[in-house]
Structure 1
Amino acid sequence: MSSKQTIAVIDFETSGLGPTAGGRATEIAAVLVRDGQIVDSFQSLMKTGVWVPPFIQALTGISNEMLATAPPASQVMRELASFTRGLPLVAHNASFDRGFWQAELSLAACEPDPAHEFACTVLLSRRLYPEAPNCKLGSLAQFHALPDMGRAHRALADASTTAHLLLRIQDDVSRRFENELQGMAVSHGLLNRLQRSSKTALKRCIQDFRLAQERQEEGQEAVA
Protein backbone atom coordinates (compact mmCIF):
# COMPACT_ATOMS: atom_id res chain seq x y z
CA MET A 1 0.00 0.00 0.00
CA SER A 2 1.58 3.28 -1.11
CA SER A 3 1.14 6.29 1.10
CA LYS A 4 -1.54 8.93 0.54
CA GLN A 5 0.91 11.57 1.76
CA THR A 6 2.42 13.79 -0.94
CA ILE A 7 6.17 13.40 -1.51
CA ALA A 8 8.29 15.72 -3.69
CA VAL A 9 10.91 13.96 -5.82
CA ILE A 10 13.63 16.39 -6.90
CA ASP A 11 16.59 16.44 -9.25
CA PHE A 12 19.26 19.07 -9.97
CA GLU A 13 21.46 19.49 -12.99
CA THR A 14 24.59 21.44 -12.13
CA SER A 15 27.77 23.02 -13.47
CA GLY A 16 29.71 19.91 -12.45
CA LEU A 17 31.31 20.94 -9.17
CA GLY A 18 29.81 20.61 -5.72
CA PRO A 19 28.38 23.72 -4.02
CA THR A 20 31.33 23.93 -1.62
CA ALA A 21 33.69 24.10 -4.62
CA GLY A 22 31.82 26.89 -6.38
CA GLY A 23 29.37 24.72 -8.30
CA ARG A 24 25.87 26.01 -8.99
CA ALA A 25 22.63 24.48 -10.13
CA THR A 26 21.64 24.93 -13.77
CA GLU A 27 18.24 23.21 -13.71
CA ILE A 28 15.81 21.89 -11.09
CA ALA A 29 12.72 19.71 -11.29
CA ALA A 30 10.30 18.47 -8.67
CA VAL A 31 7.70 15.76 -9.25
CA LEU A 32 4.90 15.23 -6.72
CA VAL A 33 3.86 11.67 -5.89
CA ARG A 34 0.72 10.74 -3.97
CA ASP A 35 -1.25 7.53 -3.54
CA GLY A 36 0.66 5.62 -6.21
CA GLN A 37 0.56 8.34 -8.84
CA ILE A 38 2.49 11.32 -10.17
CA VAL A 39 0.14 14.26 -9.57
CA ASP A 40 2.12 17.41 -10.45
CA SER A 41 5.54 18.68 -11.54
CA PHE A 42 7.76 21.77 -11.64
CA GLN A 43 10.79 22.39 -13.87
CA SER A 44 13.01 25.34 -14.67
CA LEU A 45 16.46 26.28 -15.87
CA MET A 46 18.31 28.57 -13.45
CA LYS A 47 20.48 31.58 -14.26
CA THR A 48 23.35 31.95 -11.79
CA GLY A 49 26.13 33.39 -13.96
CA VAL A 50 28.14 30.20 -13.55
CA TRP A 51 30.11 28.95 -16.56
CA VAL A 52 29.26 25.40 -17.62
CA PRO A 53 32.21 23.49 -19.15
CA PRO A 54 31.80 21.80 -22.54
CA PHE A 55 31.70 18.22 -21.23
CA ILE A 56 28.84 19.09 -18.85
CA GLN A 57 27.02 20.85 -21.68
CA ALA A 58 27.39 17.69 -23.77
CA LEU A 59 26.19 15.50 -20.91
CA THR A 60 23.09 17.52 -20.03
CA GLY A 61 22.30 19.37 -23.23
CA ILE A 62 22.15 22.58 -21.18
CA SER A 63 24.28 25.29 -22.82
CA ASN A 64 25.59 28.57 -21.47
CA GLU A 65 23.40 30.30 -24.07
CA MET A 66 20.28 28.61 -22.65
CA LEU A 67 21.19 29.68 -19.13
CA ALA A 68 21.77 33.30 -20.19
CA THR A 69 18.03 33.72 -20.80
CA ALA A 70 16.83 31.53 -17.89
CA PRO A 71 15.03 33.01 -14.88
CA PRO A 72 17.23 34.01 -11.92
CA ALA A 73 18.08 31.15 -9.59
CA SER A 74 16.70 33.03 -6.58
CA GLN A 75 13.32 33.39 -8.27
CA VAL A 76 13.27 29.71 -9.24
CA MET A 77 14.17 28.56 -5.74
CA ARG A 78 11.49 30.74 -4.15
CA GLU A 79 8.91 29.27 -6.52
CA LEU A 80 10.18 25.77 -5.80
CA ALA A 81 10.12 26.35 -2.04
CA SER A 82 6.47 27.31 -2.37
CA PHE A 83 5.73 24.31 -4.62
CA THR A 84 7.25 21.85 -2.11
CA ARG A 85 6.24 23.62 1.13
CA GLY A 86 5.46 21.12 3.88
CA LEU A 87 6.48 18.10 1.81
CA PRO A 88 9.18 15.50 2.52
CA LEU A 89 11.71 15.01 -0.27
CA VAL A 90 13.18 12.12 -2.24
CA ALA A 91 16.16 12.14 -4.59
CA HIS A 92 18.40 9.61 -6.30
CA ASN A 93 21.78 9.94 -4.57
CA ALA A 94 20.18 12.38 -2.16
CA SER A 95 23.43 13.58 -0.57
CA PHE A 96 24.30 15.29 -3.88
CA ASP A 97 20.90 16.95 -4.34
CA ARG A 98 20.64 17.86 -0.66
CA GLY A 99 23.86 19.85 -0.91
CA PHE A 100 22.59 21.93 -3.82
CA TRP A 101 19.11 22.19 -2.31
CA GLN A 102 20.48 23.74 0.87
CA ALA A 103 23.01 25.94 -0.92
CA GLU A 104 20.60 27.35 -3.49
CA LEU A 105 17.85 27.95 -0.92
CA SER A 106 20.33 29.79 1.27
CA LEU A 107 21.53 31.97 -1.63
CA ALA A 108 17.88 32.76 -2.41
CA ALA A 109 17.33 33.76 1.25
CA CYS A 110 14.63 31.10 1.68
CA GLU A 111 13.89 29.93 5.20
CA PRO A 112 14.58 26.20 5.76
CA ASP A 113 11.44 24.05 5.80
CA PRO A 114 11.59 21.38 8.56
CA ALA A 115 9.44 19.11 6.41
CA HIS A 116 12.21 18.89 3.79
CA GLU A 117 13.79 15.69 5.05
CA PHE A 118 15.39 13.57 2.33
CA ALA A 119 14.98 9.89 1.55
CA CYS A 120 17.36 8.38 -1.01
CA THR A 121 16.37 5.89 -3.70
CA VAL A 122 20.03 4.80 -4.05
CA LEU A 123 20.20 3.73 -0.39
CA LEU A 124 16.78 2.09 -0.57
CA SER A 125 17.68 0.22 -3.77
CA ARG A 126 20.90 -1.10 -2.23
CA ARG A 127 18.85 -2.67 0.55
CA LEU A 128 15.89 -3.89 -1.49
CA TYR A 129 17.48 -4.94 -4.79
CA PRO A 130 20.87 -6.54 -4.17
CA GLU A 131 20.41 -8.47 -7.41
CA ALA A 132 20.39 -5.25 -9.49
CA PRO A 133 23.58 -4.74 -11.55
CA ASN A 134 24.23 -1.37 -9.86
CA CYS A 135 22.29 1.53 -8.39
CA LYS A 136 22.67 4.04 -11.20
CA LEU A 137 19.31 5.53 -12.12
CA GLY A 138 19.44 4.32 -15.72
CA SER A 139 20.40 0.81 -14.64
CA LEU A 140 17.56 0.62 -12.12
CA ALA A 141 15.12 1.97 -14.69
CA GLN A 142 16.10 -0.86 -17.03
CA PHE A 143 16.13 -3.43 -14.22
CA HIS A 144 12.54 -2.55 -13.25
CA ALA A 145 11.37 -1.78 -16.80
CA LEU A 146 10.29 1.70 -15.71
CA PRO A 147 8.67 4.05 -18.25
CA ASP A 148 11.02 5.95 -20.55
CA MET A 149 10.83 9.56 -19.37
CA GLY A 150 13.14 11.07 -21.98
CA ARG A 151 16.74 12.23 -22.07
CA ALA A 152 18.79 11.33 -19.01
CA HIS A 153 20.65 14.14 -17.23
CA ARG A 154 17.79 16.58 -17.67
CA ALA A 155 16.11 17.44 -14.40
CA LEU A 156 12.48 16.65 -15.23
CA ALA A 157 13.31 13.36 -16.95
CA ASP A 158 15.50 12.20 -14.07
CA ALA A 159 13.05 13.38 -11.41
CA SER A 160 10.22 11.59 -13.22
CA THR A 161 12.25 8.38 -13.49
CA THR A 162 13.10 8.65 -9.79
CA ALA A 163 9.42 9.17 -9.02
CA HIS A 164 8.56 5.95 -10.86
CA LEU A 165 11.35 4.20 -8.97
CA LEU A 166 9.93 5.51 -5.69
CA LEU A 167 6.49 4.16 -6.61
CA ARG A 168 8.06 0.79 -7.42
CA ILE A 169 9.90 0.78 -4.09
CA GLN A 170 6.71 1.60 -2.18
CA ASP A 171 4.84 -1.15 -4.00
CA ASP A 172 7.58 -3.73 -3.47
CA VAL A 173 7.89 -2.92 0.24
CA SER A 174 4.12 -3.16 0.57
CA ARG A 175 3.99 -6.61 -1.07
CA ARG A 176 7.22 -8.03 0.34
CA PHE A 177 6.51 -7.02 3.93
CA GLU A 178 2.73 -7.32 3.99
CA ASN A 179 2.73 -9.27 7.26
CA GLU A 180 4.95 -6.77 9.03
CA LEU A 181 3.05 -3.73 7.74
CA GLN A 182 -0.41 -5.05 8.72
CA GLY A 183 -2.13 -2.52 6.49
CA MET A 184 0.17 0.41 7.27
CA ALA A 185 1.03 2.59 4.29
CA VAL A 186 4.63 2.83 3.05
CA SER A 187 5.24 6.41 4.13
CA HIS A 188 8.26 8.66 3.70
CA GLY A 189 9.00 8.18 7.39
CA LEU A 190 9.20 4.43 6.95
CA LEU A 191 11.40 4.75 3.86
CA ASN A 192 13.71 7.04 5.83
CA ARG A 193 14.10 4.33 8.46
CA LEU A 194 14.59 1.56 5.90
CA GLN A 195 17.40 3.42 4.12
CA ARG A 196 19.36 3.40 7.38
CA SER A 197 18.65 -0.26 8.14
CA SER A 198 20.83 -3.20 7.15
CA LYS A 199 19.60 -5.57 4.44
CA THR A 200 19.05 -8.31 7.00
CA ALA A 201 17.07 -6.15 9.45
CA LEU A 202 14.34 -4.76 7.17
CA LYS A 203 11.53 -6.84 8.70
CA ARG A 204 12.47 -5.79 12.20
CA CYS A 205 12.79 -2.19 11.12
CA ILE A 206 9.24 -2.20 9.73
CA GLN A 207 7.85 -3.92 12.81
CA ASP A 208 9.50 -1.41 15.13
CA PHE A 209 8.30 1.52 13.02
CA ARG A 210 4.72 0.23 12.96
CA LEU A 211 4.66 -0.35 16.71
CA ALA A 212 6.04 3.15 17.31
CA GLN A 213 3.35 4.62 15.07
CA GLU A 214 0.64 2.67 16.88
CA ARG A 215 1.88 3.86 20.26
CA GLN A 216 1.97 7.44 19.02
CA GLU A 217 -1.61 7.19 17.72
CA GLU A 218 -2.77 5.67 21.00
CA GLY A 219 -1.12 8.51 22.91
CA GLN A 220 -2.84 11.10 20.71
CA GLU A 221 -6.20 9.43 21.24
CA ALA A 222 -5.66 9.41 25.01
CA VAL A 223 -4.87 13.12 25.01
CA ALA A 224 -7.93 13.86 22.88
Structure 2
Amino acid sequence: MKPTLKLYDDARAAIAAGGFGADTQTRISLFLGAARQVNAAILGAVELQPQVTVAYPFVHGQYYREVEFATLLMRATRWSGNWALYAQGAQHTTPLWAQWWRIQLPAGPAFDPRAAFAALALGHALLARIRLAPVIPENVDEQSAFVAALRRMEQESGRMIQTQIRLLKDGDSPLPLAEREEIIETKQEAVDEAFRCFLEWLAGSSTPNRM
Protein backbone atom coordinates (compact mmCIF):
# COMPACT_ATOMS: atom_id res chain seq x y z
CA MET A 1 0.00 0.00 0.00
CA LYS A 2 1.37 3.40 -0.99
CA PRO A 3 1.91 5.86 1.88
CA THR A 4 -0.84 8.49 2.11
CA LEU A 5 -0.40 12.23 2.51
CA LYS A 6 -1.86 11.87 6.01
CA LEU A 7 0.98 9.56 7.01
CA TYR A 8 3.52 12.14 5.85
CA ASP A 9 1.60 14.85 7.70
CA ASP A 10 1.43 12.78 10.90
CA ALA A 11 5.15 12.00 10.80
CA ARG A 12 6.06 15.62 10.10
CA ALA A 13 3.78 16.82 12.92
CA ALA A 14 5.39 14.35 15.34
CA ILE A 15 8.87 15.61 14.45
CA ALA A 16 7.75 19.24 14.67
CA ALA A 17 6.39 18.58 18.17
CA GLY A 18 9.29 16.53 19.52
CA GLY A 19 12.20 17.73 17.40
CA PHE A 20 14.99 15.68 15.87
CA GLY A 21 15.99 14.08 19.14
CA ALA A 22 18.02 10.92 19.41
CA ASP A 23 15.01 8.59 19.21
CA THR A 24 13.71 10.22 16.04
CA GLN A 25 17.14 10.32 14.41
CA THR A 26 17.67 6.66 15.27
CA ARG A 27 14.33 5.62 13.78
CA ILE A 28 15.11 7.42 10.54
CA SER A 29 18.70 6.23 10.28
CA LEU A 30 17.83 2.60 10.95
CA PHE A 31 15.32 2.52 8.12
CA LEU A 32 17.02 4.86 5.66
CA GLY A 33 20.38 3.25 6.37
CA ALA A 34 18.96 -0.19 5.59
CA ALA A 35 17.51 1.08 2.32
CA ARG A 36 20.88 2.49 1.25
CA GLN A 37 22.68 -0.67 2.36
CA VAL A 38 20.36 -2.88 0.31
CA ASN A 39 20.93 -0.67 -2.72
CA ALA A 40 24.68 -0.81 -2.10
CA ALA A 41 24.46 -4.62 -1.98
CA ILE A 42 22.68 -4.60 -5.33
CA LEU A 43 25.25 -2.30 -6.90
CA GLY A 44 28.10 -4.17 -5.22
CA ALA A 45 27.00 -7.40 -6.86
CA VAL A 46 27.35 -5.70 -10.24
CA GLU A 47 30.76 -4.37 -9.20
CA LEU A 48 32.00 -7.93 -8.76
CA GLN A 49 30.88 -9.14 -12.16
CA PRO A 50 33.84 -10.04 -14.41
CA GLN A 51 32.23 -8.56 -17.51
CA VAL A 52 32.36 -4.77 -17.82
CA THR A 53 29.38 -3.41 -19.75
CA VAL A 54 28.37 0.08 -20.86
CA ALA A 55 26.36 0.39 -17.63
CA TYR A 56 29.39 -0.20 -15.42
CA PRO A 57 30.55 3.45 -15.06
CA PHE A 58 27.07 4.43 -13.83
CA VAL A 59 26.80 1.52 -11.43
CA HIS A 60 30.35 2.08 -10.16
CA GLY A 61 29.62 5.71 -9.30
CA GLN A 62 26.35 4.89 -7.59
CA TYR A 63 27.92 2.10 -5.54
CA TYR A 64 30.55 4.35 -4.00
CA ARG A 65 28.00 7.10 -3.45
CA GLU A 66 25.87 4.69 -1.41
CA VAL A 67 28.90 3.66 0.63
CA GLU A 68 29.60 7.35 1.26
CA PHE A 69 26.02 7.93 2.38
CA ALA A 70 26.12 4.97 4.76
CA THR A 71 29.17 6.48 6.46
CA LEU A 72 27.66 9.97 6.47
CA LEU A 73 24.46 8.75 8.09
CA MET A 74 26.36 6.78 10.70
CA ARG A 75 28.40 9.81 11.74
CA ALA A 76 25.63 12.44 11.54
CA THR A 77 23.09 10.52 13.63
CA ARG A 78 22.75 11.06 17.35
CA TRP A 79 22.05 7.44 18.25
CA SER A 80 19.53 6.64 20.96
CA GLY A 81 20.27 4.65 24.09
CA ASN A 82 16.78 3.17 23.91
CA TRP A 83 17.57 -0.38 22.82
CA ALA A 84 13.91 -1.21 22.16
CA LEU A 85 14.13 1.07 19.12
CA TYR A 86 16.76 -1.15 17.55
CA ALA A 87 14.56 -4.23 17.90
CA GLN A 88 11.64 -2.32 16.41
CA GLY A 89 13.89 -1.01 13.65
CA ALA A 90 14.91 -4.57 12.74
CA GLN A 91 11.25 -5.44 12.29
CA HIS A 92 10.75 -2.50 9.94
CA THR A 93 13.89 -3.10 7.87
CA THR A 94 13.56 -6.88 7.52
CA PRO A 95 11.07 -6.55 4.61
CA LEU A 96 13.65 -4.54 2.64
CA TRP A 97 16.35 -7.15 3.16
CA ALA A 98 13.87 -9.93 2.43
CA GLN A 99 13.35 -8.47 -1.04
CA TRP A 100 17.11 -8.64 -1.65
CA TRP A 101 17.44 -12.18 -0.29
CA ARG A 102 14.53 -13.32 -2.47
CA ILE A 103 16.36 -12.11 -5.55
CA GLN A 104 19.33 -14.33 -4.71
CA LEU A 105 17.31 -17.53 -5.21
CA PRO A 106 17.64 -19.86 -6.93
CA ALA A 107 20.34 -18.73 -9.39
CA GLY A 108 20.70 -15.09 -8.40
CA PRO A 109 21.20 -11.97 -10.56
CA ALA A 110 24.44 -13.25 -12.07
CA PHE A 111 22.74 -16.11 -13.94
CA ASP A 112 19.02 -15.32 -13.98
CA PRO A 113 17.90 -12.40 -16.23
CA ARG A 114 14.68 -12.00 -14.24
CA ALA A 115 16.60 -11.78 -10.96
CA ALA A 116 19.03 -9.29 -12.50
CA PHE A 117 16.18 -7.04 -13.63
CA ALA A 118 14.44 -7.46 -10.27
CA ALA A 119 17.60 -6.25 -8.55
CA LEU A 120 17.65 -3.11 -10.69
CA ALA A 121 13.93 -2.58 -10.08
CA LEU A 122 14.39 -2.95 -6.33
CA GLY A 123 17.26 -0.45 -6.30
CA HIS A 124 15.14 2.02 -8.23
CA ALA A 125 12.18 1.54 -5.87
CA LEU A 126 14.37 2.12 -2.82
CA LEU A 127 15.54 5.47 -4.17
CA ALA A 128 12.29 6.62 -5.75
CA ARG A 129 9.73 5.58 -3.14
CA ILE A 130 11.56 6.28 0.13
CA ARG A 131 11.50 10.06 0.42
CA LEU A 132 12.27 11.74 3.73
CA ALA A 133 12.15 15.39 2.68
CA PRO A 134 8.34 15.57 3.13
CA VAL A 135 8.63 14.70 6.83
CA ILE A 136 11.13 17.47 7.65
CA PRO A 137 9.15 20.27 9.35
CA GLU A 138 9.57 23.94 8.52
CA ASN A 139 10.84 24.83 11.99
CA VAL A 140 13.82 22.50 11.75
CA ASP A 141 17.39 23.66 12.27
CA GLU A 142 18.85 23.46 8.77
CA GLN A 143 22.35 23.77 10.24
CA SER A 144 21.96 20.46 12.03
CA ALA A 145 24.39 17.84 10.70
CA PHE A 146 21.59 15.27 10.62
CA VAL A 147 19.18 17.47 8.67
CA ALA A 148 21.95 18.48 6.27
CA ALA A 149 22.73 14.81 5.68
CA LEU A 150 19.07 14.05 4.92
CA ARG A 151 18.88 16.98 2.50
CA ARG A 152 22.03 15.95 0.67
CA MET A 153 20.98 12.31 0.36
CA GLU A 154 17.58 13.37 -0.97
CA GLN A 155 19.15 15.61 -3.61
CA GLU A 156 21.64 13.00 -4.75
CA SER A 157 18.92 10.34 -4.87
CA GLY A 158 17.14 12.40 -7.51
CA ARG A 159 20.21 12.26 -9.73
CA MET A 160 20.75 8.55 -9.09
CA ILE A 161 17.12 7.80 -9.93
CA GLN A 162 17.58 9.18 -13.43
CA THR A 163 20.49 6.79 -14.02
CA GLN A 164 18.49 3.83 -12.77
CA ILE A 165 15.56 4.73 -14.99
CA ARG A 166 17.93 4.64 -17.96
CA LEU A 167 19.21 1.23 -16.90
CA LEU A 168 15.69 -0.12 -16.52
CA LYS A 169 14.52 1.27 -19.86
CA ASP A 170 17.64 0.87 -21.99
CA GLY A 171 19.44 -1.99 -20.25
CA ASP A 172 20.15 -5.17 -22.15
CA SER A 173 17.39 -7.38 -20.72
CA PRO A 174 15.87 -10.31 -22.65
CA LEU A 175 12.62 -10.05 -20.70
CA PRO A 176 9.49 -8.88 -22.54
CA LEU A 177 8.18 -5.42 -21.71
CA ALA A 178 5.11 -6.68 -19.87
CA GLU A 179 7.23 -8.83 -17.57
CA ARG A 180 9.62 -5.99 -16.84
CA GLU A 181 6.75 -3.66 -15.98
CA GLU A 182 5.26 -6.31 -13.68
CA ILE A 183 8.58 -6.68 -11.83
CA ILE A 184 8.95 -2.91 -11.40
CA GLU A 185 5.41 -2.63 -10.03
CA THR A 186 5.92 -5.54 -7.63
CA LYS A 187 9.10 -4.08 -6.18
CA GLN A 188 7.54 -0.65 -5.81
CA GLU A 189 4.57 -2.11 -3.96
CA ALA A 190 6.88 -4.00 -1.58
CA VAL A 191 8.94 -0.90 -0.81
CA ASP A 192 5.80 1.24 -0.47
CA GLU A 193 4.38 -1.12 2.15
CA ALA A 194 7.61 -1.16 4.17
CA PHE A 195 7.85 2.63 3.97
CA ARG A 196 4.20 3.02 5.00
CA CYS A 197 4.84 0.98 8.14
CA PHE A 198 7.96 3.03 8.83
CA LEU A 199 6.03 6.31 8.59
CA GLU A 200 3.48 4.99 11.08
CA TRP A 201 6.34 4.12 13.43
CA LEU A 202 7.91 7.53 12.91
CA ALA A 203 4.60 9.26 13.61
CA GLY A 204 4.62 7.59 17.01
CA SER A 205 7.77 9.54 17.91
CA SER A 206 5.78 12.45 19.32
CA THR A 207 6.53 11.14 22.79
CA PRO A 208 9.60 12.78 24.44
CA ASN A 209 12.83 11.78 22.75
CA ARG A 210 15.71 10.33 24.71
CA MET A 211 18.54 12.85 24.44
Report if TM-score (shorter chain) is over 0.5.
Answer: no
Structure 1 or 2: larger strand share? Answer: 1
Whose relative contact order is higher, 1 or 2, with alpha carbons under 8 Å and at least 6 apart?
2
**TM-score, normalised via structure 1 length:** 0.26
**TM-score, normalised via structure 2 length:** 0.28
Structure 1 or 2: larger helix share? Answer: 2
